[in-house]
Amino acid sequence: MFLSNIRIVLVRPTHPGNVGATARAMKNMSLNHLYLVAPEDFPSTDATDRAVGADDVLENAVICASLDEALKDCHLVIGTSARQRRIEWPSLDPESSAHRLVDGAQLGPVALLFGQERTGLLNAELDRCHFVATIPADRNYSSLNLACAVQILAYEIHRAGLSGSSATLVDSVEGDRPASDEDMQRFYRHLEEALQQIGFLDPANPRRLMRRLMRLFNRVVLDRNEMNILRGILTAVQQHREKFDKNDQE
Ligand code: SAH
């Protein structure tokens, strides 16, 4: 079992009661790694009261200032959202999400993200996700309480863990380790810079194109070797462009 590689990440939670109830929901389902990104009110007695016996999960919670910090070494990130988006992220139901996470956890840390009670996950936060999981619910009232949403996904992860999920992901990645979120963010910055240099990306409006490209790369689990090849291509394009610019000035 690789459940210890699965981290539950609450992004900017506002109510400490929800943080406590999340810890309890996790511990019931054998999940222990809670990450809190910029929590509004933590530690708090409200959180401890609601954790009822899962205080250890709260005590060991990792507090991060930014999402970068929480996802740094993760090679698979699944976000959760009740809402349909304009540019859709590839979406999964809770059961398939759980299987992906359990499979992915065999290779290293993976993350399941939950949004803030009021706003949910922002688009920039969803850009970090390979998939978005939605719990099917009433069409006109689909937003669950944060800790209730955690409970449903945690239950599915527990079930997927017990059913001994397939090792498809392990088989598909030959040799090299999958690229981490930190590697991918570095790659996206490089890609954005190179696309601007060759005049393909409008610096005044970079988000739309970058979002589409991120979705494209998120669909493929790149390993580190493949990512290095792509970065090598970008560097070669940049050097070619610099030479071209220099010749042009002479
Ligand atoms: N007003 C927000 C709701 C946030 S609810 C919005 O419209 O997005 C807080 C968090 O609980 C969400 O960010 C998500 O992580 C989780 N959540 C709530 N309902 C969900 C659902 N039906 N499916 C998946 N996640 C859900």
Domain assignments of the chain as residue spans, ordered by start = 2-171, 175-249
Mention every residue, 6+ apart, whose C-beta is less than 8 A from residue 71. Answer: 9, 77, 111, 128, 181, 182
Three-state secondary structure call for residue 229: helix
Q: What is the pTM of this model?
A: 0.89
pLDDT for the residue numbered 27: 98
Which one is the CATH code of 175-249: 1.10.8.590, 2.30.30.90, 1.10.3720.10, 1.10.10.10?
A: 1.10.8.590
146 CA: nearest ligand 1 atom: 11
If we measure between CA atoms, which residue out of 240, 152, 130 comes closest to residue 194?
240
Ligand 1 centroid to Cα of residue 15, in Å, is 14
Six-digit token string for 246: 């220099």
Question: Integer distance in angstroms from the first to the last C-alpha of the chain?
Answer: 63
Rounded mean pLDDT for each run of 10 residues along the chain, 250 residues in total: 90 98 98 98 95 96 98 96 75 94 94 97 92 93 97 97 63 71 95 94 84 88 92 96 83
Fold of the CATH domain 2-171: Alpha/beta knot (3.40.1280)
pLDDT for the residue numbered 84: 64
On whether the CB atoms of residues 164 and 111 are closer than 8 A, the answer is no
Instruction: List ligand 1's pocket residues with C-beta within 6 A.
Output: 80-83, 114-115, 117-118, 120-121, 133-135, 137, 142-144, 146, 149
